[in-house]
Chain A
Amino acid sequence: MTDTDPIVITPSGEIDLASAPALRESITEALAESASTVLVVDLADVTFMDSSGLTCLAFAHQKMQERDGRVEVHNANSSVRKLITVVGMDQVVEVRE
């Protein structure tokens, strides 16, 4: 892996109060391993996400800003996508199919 490949993390299941700390941890670890300026959070296997998940995305966004990079959210299901949109997180991270 080179530093130009995007960093990809693929959480699964439910992202809530209980599981969000682990997601934050894996974001921190992934960022420590690569200097890439693109972080892809692939939510294809995430069935549910609440505001705790949004705090992880905000955290990721903040960390990527520090290296002039960006966060992309891929494959969010419709309810996750709705949450991201209501909060306005789609104006901060790039939401893609």
Chain B
Amino acid sequence: MSDPGMSLRVLLIEDDRGDAVLVTEYLEEGLPGVQIVWARSVTDARAELNRGVDCVLLDLGLPGASGLSALAEVLELAHATAVVVLTGLAVGQSGRLAVAAGAQDYLVKGQVGVDDLRRSVQYAIERKRNENAAQRLRESELRAQEYRRLERGLLPSLQLDSCGLDVATLYRPGREQSLLGGDFYDAIAHTDGSVDVLIGDVAGHGPSEAALGASLRVAWRSMVLAEVPEEQRLAALDRVLCSERDSEEVFATVATLSLPPSMTTATLRLAGHPPPIQCEPCAAAVDTSDIGPALGLISGASYPAARLPLGPTWQLLLYTDGLIEGHAGPERLGVEGLVEQLGEVMEPSMPMEHVADKLLARIEELNGGPVADDIALLLLRPAR
């Protein structure tokens, strides 16, 4: 077993040379290999505290400062470091007060042996580590909550039960889950039986991209509910993006689909977004040259409409580019690879959610694990 003091750095803040020599001896005996730095005051200890130590042993009887204010100063400089305070016999409550103020432990001078000191330092370090870990956990939980809130803004639960469509949605955060993406989707069913669908992707990753994605989705939803004509929406969304983005370089790709009550044709508009894939009669990407630029790229751009004829058994896949950017052997999957995979998993009798899950499982299998980027997809077909 290696020495318990190996690689430990202890900072002793003690004005009395005799006490310092004694504590140093005890520490070296109890924790062989320990590295001890001695400072006579908190001011002298400043550089060492900034550099980082495992444990601070602080004399509460330093001249010129009340003990607890010295402790507060140490904790401010090194809030993640374990602190054990040393008090004199006559000081009564000060040890307990120091622990209440943030020290991990206290020892009474003159009543401490080698073992007491070793145990106290080791416990203090361990306790502080646990505290720090708990603190990090709380912070990551808060961040996760924040992400969940943003994700709800990007990916609403759709109310499409009575709209005559069978819809499945799926979202997978990228492999680097700390990077929240800006993928978003939405769909709205109208009382006359028509349906509007949106999918999009703010380029880049991070909370501001996610917030922008959520803004675009809500802006689109507001326009649809306010019955802004379909042909005006993307130009308006482009203006929303330009006014809401942090920086001029930010852009977003979007696809919208409007289905009339008859569901015999659809109006597709693309702003720099990959065309959807039609699954019937056989899987193929929608072949259209009617593609506008991504939102935010060119001011005053137009976003032409493509009309898609829909057969009685039509099915459509709308997706964000994370779905085609995974690996498939040495190559990337690409649109052709996605079309092929979809053709293989699609079975007319299979519920849409299962098709979506199976498709994603295939793609992750080919990639050898989750793909790097976020993936959002929407599968649509007439309800049976």
Binding site for B on A (CB under 8 A): 16-18, 48, 50-52, 54-55, 58-59, 61-62, 65, 79, 86-89, 91-92
Contacts and interface: CB of A to CB of B under 8 A. Distances in A.
Contact of A62 (B201, B248, B321, B372): B248
Contact of B373 (A17, A86, A88, A92): A17
Contact of B203 (A18, A55, A92): A55
Interface in B299-357: 301, 321, 325, 332, 334
A92 B176 contact: no
Given A50-B373, A51-B201, A55-B203, A88 B293 contact: yes
Contacts of B325: 16, 50-51
B293 A91 contact: yes
B200 interface: no
Contacts of A59: 249
Contacts of B297: 58, 87-89, 91-92
For chain B, which range describes its interface: under 10, 10 to 19, 20 to 34, or 35 or more residues?
20 to 34
B320 to A, nearest CB: 9
Contacts of A79: 334
B111 interface: no
Contacts of A58: 203, 249-251, 297
B314 to A, nearest CB: 23
Nearest to B175: A17
B204 interface: yes
Given A51-B321, A62-B249, 7 more contacts: A51-B201, A52-B373, A86-B272, A87-B294, A87-B297, A89-B293, A91-B293
A87 B179 CA distance: 22
B35 to A, nearest CB: 37
A52 B201 CA distance: 12
Contact of B292 (A17, A18, A88): A88
A33 B291 CA distance: 37
A6 B251 CA distance: 26
Nearest to B372: A17
A88 B291 contact: yes
Nearest to A89: B297
Contacts of B372: 16-18
Contacts of A92: 293, 297-298
Interface string B23-45: 00000000000000000000000
A55 B176 CA distance: 18
A31 B271 CA distance: 30
A16 B271 CA distance: 21
Contacts of B201: 51
A43 to B, nearest CB: 16
Contacts of B203: 51-52, 54-55, 58
B336 to A, nearest CB: 10
Given A50-B325, A86-B291, A88-B292, A55 B272 contact: no
Nearest to A85: B291
A89 B253 CA distance: 11
B274 interface: yes
Nearest to B325: A50
A91 B249 contact: no
13 contacts: A51-B325, A52-B373, A61-B249, A62-B248, A79-B334, A87-B251, A88-B293, A88-B294, A88-B297, A89-B293, A91-B293, A92-B293, A92-B297
